Amino acid sequence: MSFDFSETVKKAQSGDADAFARLYSLVYKDLYHIALCSLRNQHDACDAVSEAVLDAFTSIKKLKDLNAFKAWIVKILTVKIKKKQREYIENNNTQDIEDVEQEIKGEINNDGFDIMEEFAKLEKTERLVLSLNVVAGYTSDEIAKICDTNPSTVRSKLMRAKTKLKQRLTSE
Protein backbone atom coordinates (compact mmCIF):
# COMPACT_ATOMS: atom_id res chain seq x y z
CA MET A 1 0.00 0.00 0.00
CA SER A 2 1.66 3.17 -1.17
CA PHE A 3 0.54 6.69 -0.39
CA ASP A 4 1.01 9.55 -2.86
CA PHE A 5 2.76 12.17 -0.74
CA SER A 6 3.25 14.72 -3.55
CA GLU A 7 0.22 17.01 -3.05
CA THR A 8 0.59 17.09 0.72
CA VAL A 9 4.34 17.70 0.45
CA LYS A 10 3.71 20.63 -1.92
CA LYS A 11 1.37 22.18 0.65
CA ALA A 12 3.88 21.59 3.46
CA GLN A 13 6.64 23.16 1.36
CA SER A 14 4.50 26.25 0.92
CA GLY A 15 4.32 26.63 4.72
CA ASP A 16 1.15 24.69 5.54
CA ALA A 17 1.83 23.26 9.03
CA ASP A 18 -1.35 21.16 8.89
CA ALA A 19 -0.08 19.47 5.74
CA PHE A 20 3.19 18.63 7.47
CA ALA A 21 1.21 17.27 10.43
CA ARG A 22 -0.72 15.01 8.03
CA LEU A 23 2.56 13.73 6.58
CA TYR A 24 3.92 13.12 10.05
CA SER A 25 0.76 11.24 11.04
CA LEU A 26 1.47 8.76 8.25
CA VAL A 27 5.00 7.93 9.40
CA TYR A 28 5.27 8.60 13.14
CA LYS A 29 4.77 5.00 14.27
CA ASP A 30 7.47 3.71 11.93
CA LEU A 31 9.84 6.48 13.00
CA TYR A 32 9.34 5.72 16.68
CA HIS A 33 9.69 1.95 16.28
CA ILE A 34 12.87 2.33 14.23
CA ALA A 35 14.34 4.63 16.86
CA LEU A 36 13.21 2.42 19.74
CA CYS A 37 14.61 -0.74 18.17
CA SER A 38 17.90 0.98 17.41
CA LEU A 39 18.40 2.92 20.64
CA ARG A 40 16.62 0.59 23.08
CA ASN A 41 15.54 3.49 25.26
CA GLN A 42 12.11 5.04 24.88
CA HIS A 43 13.18 8.51 26.01
CA ASP A 44 16.10 8.63 23.60
CA ALA A 45 13.85 7.25 20.84
CA CYS A 46 11.35 10.06 21.44
CA ASP A 47 14.18 12.61 21.44
CA ALA A 48 15.60 11.27 18.18
CA VAL A 49 12.19 11.33 16.50
CA SER A 50 11.49 14.83 17.78
CA GLU A 51 14.81 16.12 16.49
CA ALA A 52 14.28 14.43 13.13
CA VAL A 53 10.78 15.85 12.76
CA LEU A 54 11.94 19.34 13.68
CA ASP A 55 14.75 19.12 11.11
CA ALA A 56 12.31 17.80 8.50
CA PHE A 57 9.81 20.55 9.21
CA THR A 58 12.43 23.29 8.90
CA SER A 59 13.96 21.84 5.73
CA ILE A 60 10.96 20.39 3.87
CA LYS A 61 11.47 22.95 1.09
CA LYS A 62 14.72 21.13 0.20
CA LEU A 63 12.88 17.87 -0.56
CA LYS A 64 13.07 17.46 -4.33
CA ASP A 65 11.27 14.15 -4.89
CA LEU A 66 7.80 14.82 -3.52
CA ASN A 67 6.98 11.12 -3.19
CA ALA A 68 10.19 10.37 -1.26
CA PHE A 69 8.99 12.00 1.98
CA LYS A 70 9.05 8.81 4.05
CA ALA A 71 12.52 7.73 2.92
CA TRP A 72 13.76 11.30 3.40
CA ILE A 73 12.51 11.63 6.97
CA VAL A 74 13.77 8.13 7.85
CA LYS A 75 17.19 9.14 6.57
CA ILE A 76 17.10 12.21 8.82
CA LEU A 77 16.11 9.93 11.70
CA THR A 78 19.01 7.54 11.05
CA VAL A 79 21.42 10.47 11.34
CA LYS A 80 19.87 11.35 14.72
CA ILE A 81 20.08 7.70 15.84
CA LYS A 82 23.75 7.49 14.87
CA LYS A 83 24.43 10.75 16.73
CA LYS A 84 22.72 9.39 19.85
CA GLN A 85 24.70 6.13 19.57
CA ARG A 86 27.95 8.14 19.39
CA GLU A 87 26.83 9.94 22.56
CA TYR A 88 26.35 6.57 24.24
CA ILE A 89 29.90 5.62 23.39
CA GLU A 90 31.33 8.99 24.43
CA ASN A 91 29.43 8.98 27.71
CA ASN A 92 29.81 5.21 28.15
CA ASN A 93 26.08 5.02 28.84
CA THR A 94 24.39 1.69 29.09
CA GLN A 95 21.18 1.37 27.18
CA ASP A 96 18.19 0.27 29.18
CA ILE A 97 16.30 -2.67 27.74
CA GLU A 98 13.76 -2.30 30.55
CA ASP A 99 12.42 0.81 28.81
CA VAL A 100 11.69 -1.27 25.73
CA GLU A 101 10.10 -4.00 27.83
CA GLN A 102 7.85 -1.47 29.55
CA GLU A 103 6.91 0.01 26.18
CA ILE A 104 5.72 -3.31 24.79
CA LYS A 105 4.40 -4.79 28.05
CA GLY A 106 0.89 -6.03 27.58
CA GLU A 107 1.13 -5.90 23.79
CA ILE A 108 2.89 -9.23 23.38
CA ASN A 109 3.30 -12.37 25.42
CA ASN A 110 6.36 -13.26 27.51
CA ASP A 111 8.05 -14.86 24.51
CA GLY A 112 8.31 -11.38 23.03
CA PHE A 113 10.62 -10.31 25.82
CA ASP A 114 13.10 -12.96 24.78
CA ILE A 115 13.02 -11.55 21.26
CA MET A 116 13.57 -8.00 22.51
CA GLU A 117 16.41 -9.08 24.79
CA GLU A 118 18.11 -10.90 21.94
CA PHE A 119 17.43 -8.00 19.57
CA ALA A 120 19.12 -5.70 22.09
CA LYS A 121 22.25 -7.85 21.98
CA LEU A 122 22.75 -7.29 18.25
CA GLU A 123 25.33 -4.78 17.06
CA LYS A 124 23.93 -1.28 16.59
CA THR A 125 24.17 -1.40 12.78
CA GLU A 126 22.45 -4.79 12.73
CA ARG A 127 19.63 -3.42 14.90
CA LEU A 128 19.26 -0.41 12.61
CA VAL A 129 19.07 -2.33 9.33
CA LEU A 130 16.84 -5.01 10.84
CA SER A 131 14.43 -2.43 12.25
CA LEU A 132 14.36 -0.55 8.94
CA ASN A 133 13.61 -3.81 7.16
CA VAL A 134 11.18 -5.45 9.56
CA VAL A 135 9.46 -2.43 11.15
CA ALA A 136 9.43 0.03 8.25
CA GLY A 137 9.41 -2.52 5.44
CA TYR A 138 12.35 -1.10 3.49
CA THR A 139 14.27 -3.25 1.01
CA SER A 140 18.03 -3.65 1.23
CA ASP A 141 18.46 -1.22 -1.67
CA GLU A 142 16.33 1.40 0.08
CA ILE A 143 18.16 0.87 3.38
CA ALA A 144 21.48 1.25 1.57
CA LYS A 145 20.38 4.65 0.24
CA ILE A 146 19.14 5.75 3.66
CA CYS A 147 22.35 4.65 5.40
CA ASP A 148 24.72 5.67 2.58
CA THR A 149 26.16 2.20 2.21
CA ASN A 150 26.32 -0.65 -0.29
CA PRO A 151 23.17 -2.81 -0.75
CA SER A 152 25.23 -6.00 -0.45
CA THR A 153 26.54 -4.78 2.92
CA VAL A 154 22.97 -4.24 4.06
CA ARG A 155 21.95 -7.71 2.88
CA SER A 156 24.91 -9.22 4.75
CA LYS A 157 24.01 -7.37 7.93
CA LEU A 158 20.37 -8.38 7.61
CA MET A 159 21.25 -12.03 7.07
CA ARG A 160 23.74 -11.97 9.96
CA ALA A 161 21.25 -10.31 12.31
CA LYS A 162 18.43 -12.70 11.40
CA THR A 163 20.73 -15.70 11.77
CA LYS A 164 21.93 -14.53 15.19
CA LEU A 165 18.38 -13.99 16.39
CA LYS A 166 17.24 -17.36 15.09
CA GLN A 167 20.19 -19.21 16.68
CA ARG A 168 19.75 -17.45 20.02
CA LEU A 169 16.01 -17.96 20.14
CA THR A 170 16.06 -21.61 19.08
CA SER A 171 18.91 -22.57 21.44
CA GLU A 172 16.96 -21.56 24.55
DSSP-derived secondary structure letter, 149? S
pLDDT at 105 over 60: no
Tell me what the mean pLDDT of segment 14-22 comes to: 94
pLDDT band of residue 113 (cuts 50, 70, 90) is low
> Which pLDDT value is given to residue 92?
61
105, 48 contact by CB (below 8 A): no
Contact, 45 vs 35, CB < 8 A? yes
Evaluate whether residue 95 is within a structural domain.
yes
- For residue 34, give the CATH number of its domain: 1.10.1740.10
Examine residue 1 and state whether it is found in any structural domain, yes or no. no
User: Rounded CA gap, 30 and 137, in Å?
Assistant: 9
Q: How far apart are CA 123 and CA 58, in angstroms?
A: 32
The more confidently predicted of residues 102 and 18 is 18
Structural domain harbouring 68 = 6-170
Band of the pLDDT at 4, cuts 50, 70, 90? confident
* 20 domain-assigned: yes
**pLDDT tens-digit series, residues 24-68:** 999 999 999 999 888 888 899 999 999 999 999 999 999 999 989
User: Is residue 105 in some structural domain?
Assistant: yes
Tally of structural domains, the chain: 1
Q: Is residue 27 part of a domain?
A: yes
Report d(CA 132, CA 140) in Å as an integer: 9
Global pTM exceeds 0.95 = no
Nearest to 33 by CA among 103, 90, 93: 103
What are the residue ranges of helices labelled H in 17-123?
Answer: 17-39, 42-59, 69-91, 97-104, 110-120
